Structure 1
Amino acid sequence: MEVGAVAAMRYVKDGIKAAKLVMEHTQHTLLVGEKASVFAISMGLPGPTNLSSAESFEKWAKWKQNDCQPNFRKNVFPANGCGPYHLSQAASPVLEGTCGYIRGEDVYGKWSGASSFSGVLEKNSNLIGRHNHDTISMAVIDKMGHIAVGTSTNGATFKVPGRVGDGPIAGSSAYADDEVGACGATGDGDIMMRFLPCYQVVESMRQGMEPKHAAANAISRIARKYPDFVGAVFALNRKGIHAGACHGWTFQYSIRNSSMVDVEVVTVVP
């Protein structure tokens, strides 16, 4: 039940070490943005460092040339451009009857309604897939039976600046309890974080579910509401029994214990 996390941190390469520093040297759980970078550097991590690469700059340049398409914005104007963005006239039922005007980059208006939803929801983006994000989640059980889990990611490609996904959210991308086990997750974090799937996995195992059933249950809860989402979880109980579940893609994870010469890759199908 010790937690440390950082989000929206720039100029420091090793986010997982920064998160560990938050856990071990502060009474906080989550530090964000510029001050998270300042904290990490003040605690001895290298920086500030230019984290851009020739490959990432080329990808960004091509994206700009393509009018910043695709991106994660919705109900904005211009829909097919690089901005500055303003509210679309057809933005949302919430904005029906709104009186407002736009001047430069400022938006003025008055909220005048409410919206609700139920049943199956559409996925908010088609930008999440196995080839365009770099989440790594790892769980470890030591000789004493202590369990640790961590997740690190650069986030979704072409995300809106300032976006925080599920990576630093306890219970979403990772969760662990020495008495029960651990879980790690990857995929469409903007959807998955709404369900805290790793918390759900660990709590299901606490109630007696085997890892394979706990993982499948957590994924199915998301799929019932968002049938087009892409994501996966792995579950590991305190005895070392493990399993995975996925939706929208074929998922692989690796395991190794003290009796194994090399890692074993486990393939999980939807």
Structure 2
Amino acid sequence: MINRRRFLSVSSLAGLFPTLSFKTVSPTPNEAPAGGPLVISTWKQPKANAAAQAALDRGGSALDAVEAGVRIPEADPEDMSVGYGGRPDRDGRVTLDACIMDEKGNAGSVVFLEHIMHPISVARAVMEKTPHVMLAGEGAYRFALSQGFKKENLLTAKTEKEWREWLKTAKYKPIANIERHDTIGMLSIDAQGNISGACTTSGLAYKMNGRVGDSPIIGAGLFVDNEIGGACATGLGELVMRTCGSFLVVELMRQGRTPQQACEEAALRIVKKQDYKDIQVGFVAVNKKGETGAFSIQPGFNYTITQDKQTKVIDAPSYLK
């Protein structure tokens, strides 16, 4: 407890200082206003970003925004790398992976989920309604049904036709940028300055049955630290998993790198260890200030950013020119 003499001493010191005035500092061009809002996603996703921005405009959290945003390609049969209409594995089964992470470090994930159009919402339910981070396969499917999700046929006539054509040769080789690399990753900063992220995919086309990539793995396809920033990865997931890619980007930002520098260094970690000429990996990142970055191994990777109600699709710089 402060005594009377101490109180008078502190009071007299306070009187020595005039009233402080603060100058408002305008953000730099690549910096969000204090507390956001901002949405950034992998690849050309203006509709997804619009849905995320609409959630923010309604007063929703960054978590609400990223879930609403990635649900758009999940439900789009023309987006054949995510959700409904996604290309199947080599057995003709559409299997989905997704994860979500909030500003408190909570996370939820589903892997090898079949028959459910919105795996990102199931992942959020795992995060909020179970003691676990990840559910897989039949267990994830049964949990989804218990939460009111409906069983649906995700294999469209178009993707089934493509798959049957593929069966004639059954050759498997991922080609850089052709599949749009099986992922949408999205990060958002809300009006309170909180950061959340989401990542969802149907995986590589004609993969081995049971294959899971980086997209639902916390620290690989997605990582968020609300004190620092967030990152998402896209591309050949095996390479991202081996380097804990998104976690690496965030940790590099913690060490003082800008989001751009962090994305570049994470990509170079892969280049140094792999034959990179025929593979693609790309990263996007945002820090607490709202500064963003993106980088890929191959040219052809782009990302979508919504900031100050303006949406732009930007070609990311790349290691190979």
Q: Same fold judged by TM-score > 0.5?
A: yes
Counterpart position of 2:219:
171
Identity of aligned residues (%): 35
- Tell whether 2:161 aligns with 1:58: yes
Q: Which amino acid aligns with 1:63?
A: W
Are the equivalent residues in 1 in contact too, given 2:294–2:317 (CA < 8 A)? no
Counterpart position of 2:66:
none
Distance in 2 separating the partners of 1:54 and 1:38 = 26
Larger relative helix fraction: 2
> Any runs of at least 4 consecutive aligned residues in structure 1 with deviations exceeding 3 A, and if so which?
none
CA deviation string 1:147-174 (max 9, x = no partner): 1011000000010001011011101111
Structure 2: which 5+ runs fail to align?
Answer: 1-104
Equivalent residue in structure 2 for 1:127, among 156, 161, 174: 174
Write out aligned runs for 1:1-270 (5 A).
1-46=105-150, 48-66=151-169, 68=170, 70-71=171-172, 126-132=173-179, 133-228=181-276, 229-257=279-307, 259-260=308-309, 262-270=310-318
Distance in 2 separating the partners of 1:212 and 1:269 = 10
Secondary structure in 2 matching 1:4: strand
Secondary structure in 2 matching 1:263: strand
- Compare relative contact order (CA 8 Å, sep 6+) and give the higher one, 1 or 2: 2
Distance in 1 separating the partners of 2:192 and 2:162 = 45
Distance in 1 separating the partners of 2:227 and 2:109 = 22
Q: Which amino acid aligns with 1:235?
A: A
Distance in 2 separating the partners of 1:12 and 1:265 = 29
What is the CA RMSD across the aligned residues, in angstroms? 1.1
Are the equivalent residues in 1 in contact too, given 2:185–2:198 (CA < 8 A)? yes
Q: Name which one, 1 or 2, has greater alpha-carbon Rg.
A: 2
TM-score normalized with structure 2 length? 0.64
Shift, 1:196, TM fit: 0.8
Distance in 2 separating the partners of 1:196 and 1:140 = 21
Distance in 1 separating the partners of 2:161 and 2:288 = 45
Are the equivalent residues in 1 in contact too, given 2:182–2:235 (CA < 8 A)? no
Aligned residues: 211
Shift, 1:63, TM fit: 1.4
Structure 1: which 5+ runs fail to align?
Answer: 72-125
Secondary structure in 1 matching 2:265: helix
TM-score normalized with structure 1 length? 0.76
Distance in 2 separating the partners of 1:51 and 1:144 = 37
Distance in 1 separating the partners of 2:313 and 2:298 = 19
Secondary structure in 2 matching 1:213: helix
Distance in 2 separating the partners of 1:191 and 1:140 = 25
